[in-house]
Structure 1
């Protein structure tokens, strides 16, 4: 059983829910083995065949759960029937749209000509409910449930992406009603129960366009010369109670989704921008993390409590950075806060140095930002900026998240962890091959590999493909990556190798069982600091609040440094003793392990869905922005090389596209897979990862804005 991921050419792969013996990776499904399954379906695979290298091939036996109740696409009125072409090219099926009276299970009559209203819909973007799924002999059939407009109309691209990725985007009436009746004023009785931080110089620091403020911070200097870091996080769990409509909708969404010109919040605006948001000069309920930190970054004491704050100022990254750079205008405006920002900077640098000593990886890759004018039109694509103010918040949030994770783990209660597993040996091997072409290595030494000859049955040995697979687990740590990032810092190849290193790592996810966070070099980590926009954070808040309000606090450690992580081994009588998966606790689990396990799976899937939607819409926006630049030439960098050509990124616009190999007409080129390069037979000209060149924008595909270039120099 597993999830089917389809390719636009009709074949696909099933990602098994549980590891299969002797199988490496996913299960290949050929076009003829798909049956009625569609992209994203949960399926059962039969007739499994595994070759010596561990690669598996099978057929879809049956569909357990459909992923595509609706499909968004472009409507066409054909002479023998109407149909919709899905925008998702992983659904290579036309959806037939019969006349309304024929949308039942019977066969549509293909001889019907398009009605006048059908011709008016020609080229429109529609959302279609699937009535009959495709089979080996029949096409899928559906009925139109929404007409979204024409593809080039303002805002339709966002509507397409929302429906393509099945993002919940409209709050049901019961959710809106629950949000509307939440009082805008905090009860005095509740304030009296909490620790009062309202007189402290606490501030929020966010981007210029932010509307929901999850976190507020301050750093105090203690009499012993140590720092006290205070991280105050909006107490969403006070307002969003379990088993309410608000909670069910937040769990369904899993996360807020951020598009360049629009956001889909996890919570209604009455909460996300209102009573939960740590707005300046307003009393707000928080869960607080107080950490005593020495001048070496060691956390000597931790405290967690329910609190109330009144943010002194709504700061931006730009403004804080300007204050720290002694900008006269900013100093005049925020002068009283300047010493606090300087103290924050000092502590952030100490915490960063400590993380680096432990081996944490920091790629610091820039991200694209699209700028709009007052009418909503795109005017520029630029690289995001990161200054010292971003570093302040990043370091403080990392410290708070780690402290909460270690505290809950020490108490032994079931919780949500943000885990990042060690990289897959095959991915590391592939990266090492590319890095070697630049003269770099992770420093792992020779990798143990085994060669396999694979091919279809009856293929002569001379025509079989030879593949290499690692034969053992790698002794790899984040320090290997950190050392290489230090070596390439400031070099021309820094960006491309950093990007490739990132791709060699696994995706972080949520899990009930803690296995540590590889990239952060932390044995325990969670997400606690963004409960307005992430459901796992809200769950961690509920668990922490339950612990704080519990009568029994016997298991609570005096200091974080003294707390032995519960799922690691310890020394006992000179021998290693493996602790149980989770230590026995005097506290009951606020949320059961089974429930947390389900939540982590759902939240990880929601995070992936949101990331894919954000990434895809960004590419659509880039394509639309570049339309007016068709035929123009740009400086570019080769980011990857494959059998059909190579991908380039425009240095000026942060835009990527393909150079098809057939556009290289000056001579015949040969693909050298091992070196991942194309080489000209006559002049030996090479195109390989990291090369800079001049390209012309030749074509922008619709929909989705996929761009094609040709080499001009």
Structure 2
């Protein structure tokens, strides 16, 4: 029995529900046996695509608001949420898991949940029906010897269950200890491991009554040992970091030179002065570009992307591993690549002065930035130069030495700059948002410790490559959508009305607005549940999302209005927070921030799996074949790619935050200029200027009097003096405490001691 046929059949039934006997009767006529049907139903139930509200009755979960599939996001305080993808219609945000319910699964597990009811403003609680896929086969944590046995306390405090290590399983086997990443251990007794960071394989998962059981398979060392922090992040976030033997063998078998046979049927671009432009430390060059002016006054833009799909065949060992990784992960001292180095930095990388296979997007663009003609093809290039953003920037800024060094390319770079400006103006006209927020670039010493932080450079060379990649991605997306083929899109949905309303309230205090007009709200009395499970009664304001319309152009206009103003940093930060996170989807719903009706990721197949999938779909279209993937297949791939993207971002961000924490540990007692970025009833959060470090100033630490939090205005106000602390205020703070366990910084307000008045001399 074909699973897709069964799902399509149930989807056509009233309420997407069916009884087993009904399916036997209706599908039996199509040749499906009872056994085949039972096997198919079991598979689909295990995957979460079907649920059984009662025995023998099935419902299609994606078309039923009573069920949802998502990943558990547990909180260390005992509650949690289910992050649903794709979102459930009528539900705002994630599904709440009350204390007790969250312990039915572990953080990150993929679960099927039942939604008993949907409350005001689209909020909903959930009950876990079944764990569909475990997120953790092993856990990294601190080994502890206790009176009642040995345990591993997970480093991730969202995993609330300790792992019990039975006697005889405390020390890793020799074959495990010799693995890359593990450290040689001379321990002969479990006590030798006490306080060390280890990896425990889970043998038995926890239940509501029983603890998890595991065995130690790796010893990483002490948390402060050099390089252990990266090893912890890799394992905490379950980033695949060892290529299986079959993948290594397959990668070594890939020829490292392009031969004549492989060039057959490809457009030859080797006679053009095509270049790559990347950062100084980059080694995997996905893209190369070329620009020219046509005789009709239009522009020719060629974007050549490494043809990874030529080397990584769908379903191969390398492909399966790439899908599991989803993306390359970049840490300060190393990268965890999606593909083996034989591919990522060798045959697929568009190195200079060697032939390389590419998938090419050829765009003809007029002087308004409109694409008047586009063509896609397989090609072969011979990059003439490996350029850096810095060198191209210097050339365009008139640096004599660099212009002489790259004299044959100067005119080409100037044309690139001019075309990029045209493309940017087109995006601005349609309402594309460009937050020019400073990106922190953390600098490290030779020991891997943070030495400082500075603003990452973003010059004209960065912007021209950005414009060219955006144009190519849009063109490919439009081509595939026009063919009406199932594909993967990069979507960015409009912001939630509640978040827009929150931003408008704060912006109003600075005298700004998005211009959405009067926000349609109504007051309701509700019973809600606190994080610890207790119920409270309160009034809430509900925003009518149907009557609140916001466009990217409104965001864009406000970004332009605050440019260069003192409040630019905080309002840009808050605007960014009001937006949703972009994700991958098999359904195109446009890209809000780019103001693009259709968008995909095509330009980075060496480091992003969705790009590789788009290459395969585009290649099939060039060959005149039928669509290579079904919508159902791509739905699963899109969800997995969104997950692996978030996983990588969280690991990269968390490691940098940990480095910052250790950096600040030596600066307790120092004072810093800071910006208030958030207020709450327990205090306000600040970001230190020029350090991009955040921390809390507790409300009870504010000097001189009692302070209270005014929820309506989000201000903290002194009861006697009426002194006010608001979002966007600049303050000076002192670092009081670095909490290594909670990974938090605590500050207090810096109040310089008043100067003593000099005593007046009496008249003589």
TM-score (norm. length: structure 1): 0.89
Name the residue aligned to 2:372: 300
Residues 189-588 of structure 1: pairs in structure 2 closer than 5 A: 189-455=261-527, 464-550=538-624, 588=626
CA spacing shift, 1:513–1:152, aligned 2, 3 Å: same
Q: Quick one: distance in 1 between partners of 2:444 and 2:162?
A: 36
1:473-495 deviation digits (Å, cap 9, x = unpaired):
53221101001101111111111
- The residue aligned with 1:707 is 745
Deviation, structure 1 residue 44: 4.1
1:34 to 102, 113, 116: 102
The whole-number CA distance in structure 1 between the counterparts of 2:115 and 2:400 is 73
Change in 2 beyond 3 A, CA 1:227/1:633: same
Cα distance in 1, alignment partners of residues 98 and 459 from structure 2: 49
Does the Cα contact within 8 Å between 2:520 and 2:547 map onto a contact in 1?
A: no
Q: Would you say 1:617 and 2:655 are equivalent positions?
A: yes
User: Displacement of 1:670 after TM fit?
Assistant: 0.3
Distance in 2, Cα, partners of 1:69 & 1:235: 34
Would the aligned equivalents of 2:169 and 2:215 in 1 still touch at CA under 8 Å?
no
Contact 1:620 1:703 in 2 (8 A): no
What CA deviation, in whole Å up to 9, does each residue of 1:14-67 have, x standing for no partner? 234566576443332221333432212233445835444443334434433322
Contact 1:623–1:704 at 8 Å: present in 2 too? Answer: no
Determine if contact 1:449/1:471 at 8 Å carries over to the other structure: no
TM-score by length of 2: 0.83
- Which residue number corresponds to residue 627 of structure 1? 665
Aligned to 1:574: none
Q: Say whether 1:98 aligns with 2:170.
A: no
Pairs within 5 Å for 1:601-680: 601-680=639-718
With over 3 angstroms needed to count, the CA separation of the structure-2 counterparts of 1:454 and 1:278, relative to structure 1, is: same
Structure 2 runs not aligned, ≥5 long: 1-68, 172-186, 530-534, 752-764
Secondary structure, counterpart of 2:242 in structure 1:
coil
Q: Which runs of 5+ in 1 are unaligned?
A: 104-114, 551-586
Deviations 1:74-122 (A, max 9, x none): 112223322222221212233232312699xxxxxxxxxxx97222212
Cα drift, residue 452 of structure 1: 1.4
Q: 1:282 to 1:18 in 2, by over 3 A?
A: closer
Residue matched to 2:36: none
CA contact (8 A) 2:170 2:190 kept: no
Change (3 A) 1:198 1:619: same
Question: What residue is the counterpart of 1:139 in the other structure?
Answer: 211
Match of 1:14 in 2: 82
Q: Distance in 2 between matches of 1:419 and 1:462?
A: 37
What do residues 640-669 of structure 1 show as CA deviations (whole Å, max 9, x unaligned)?
Answer: 112322211111211111222232242211
Q: Distance in 2 between matches of 1:221 and 1:330?
A: 23
After superposing on structure 2, the runs of 4+ consecutive aligned residues of structure 1 that deviate more than 6 Å are none
Instruction: Sort the Cα spacing of 1:538 and 1:462 in 2 relative to 1 into closer, same or farther, 3 A.
Output: closer
Of the candidates 60, 68, 72, which is equivalent to residue 140 of structure 2?
72
Q: Which residue of 2 aligns with 1:25?
A: 93
**CA deviation digits over 1:128-172, x for unaligned, max 9?**
122333344443332212111100011111111111111111110
Task: Determine if contact 2:715/2:724 at 8 Å carries over to the other structure.
Answer: yes
| Matching residue of 2:7 | none
RCO higher in structure (CA 8 A, sep ≥6):
1
Let me know the Cα RMSD of the aligned residues: 2.2
Q: CA deviation at 1:413?
A: 2.1
Name the stretch that deviates more: 242-251 or 34-43. Answer: 34-43
Question: Within 1, Cα distance between the matches of 2:539 and 2:188?
Answer: 56
- Hey, what's the Cα distance between the residues in 1 that align with 2:410 and 2:726? 49
* Count of aligned pairs between the two proteins: 663
* Residues 101 and 521 (structure 1), Cα distance of their counterparts in 2 relative to 1, 3 Å cut: closer
